[in-house]
Amino acid sequence: MNSYLNVLSKFPAGDEREKAEQEMILNLAEKEGDNLLLRTCLYAHLTASSIILNRDRTKTLFVWHNIYKSWAWTGGHCDGDPDFERVARREAAEETGIGALTRIGEGVASMEILPVHAHMKRGRMVGTHLHLNVSYLFEAEETWPLRICPEENRDVRWIEIADIERMCTEPDMIPVYLRLIRRANVC
C-alpha cells in the first residue's frame, strides 16, 4: 500500500460523515492511484489544509482568500507530494510567512470532501471539482511576523475564534473550522 493510502486508511474518523468521506476518498484513490495527487485528475484531487491556532487556543491565523473572497484556513494542492503534513506546512508557510509550526495532536486531524465551484485562476477557467482534503492542526506564536502571498491572499491576520462565523463568508466551511478547533482543544 502506498504510504499516503496508509495515512488515509489509518485515520480514526471522528463521526459518520467523516467515515463516509474517508471511504469515498479511499475508493477514489484505489481507482485513480497516484493520479489523485495531481491536478490533472480534473474531477477530484488531494489537498492538505491546516488550522493554525495561538498557544491559548483563542485565535486562529486566517488569510483573506483571493478566489473565495473569504477569511479562510491555509492549504493547497498536493501536486504530486504524497506527504500531506509537508503539503499543509508548505502551504501555511507560503500563505502566512510562518514556517516554524508545532503540530497539535498525533497527525491527521480531519478528512473532508470539499466542493470547488468553477472559477478563474491566473487568467484560466478552472472547472468544478472536488478537493479530497486532509487537515492538520498547528500552533504558532502570535508575535511572529506575517507575510501576504499576493497570488493567494490579500491579507493575513489572527482572528478571534468567536469571530469566525462573522468573518467567514463561506457558510459551508464554518462547521469544518469549528470542528477542527474543538479537536485542538482536546489534544
**Interval 15-44: pLDDT, tens:** 999 999 999 999 999 999 999 999 999 999
Rounded-to-integer distance, Cα 136 and Cα 2, Å = 20
pLDDT at 122 > cutoff 90: no
Mean pLDDT of 49-76: 96
Say if pTM beats, i.e. exceeds, 0.85: yes
Q: What's the longest Cα–Cα distance across the chain?
A: 45
Looking at residue 130, which CATH number applies to its domain? 3.90.79.10
- Residue appearing with cell numbers 506575517: 146
Rounded-to-integer distance, Cα 19 and Cα 136, Å = 17
- Domain tally, the chain: 1
Give residue 136's domain range. 3-184
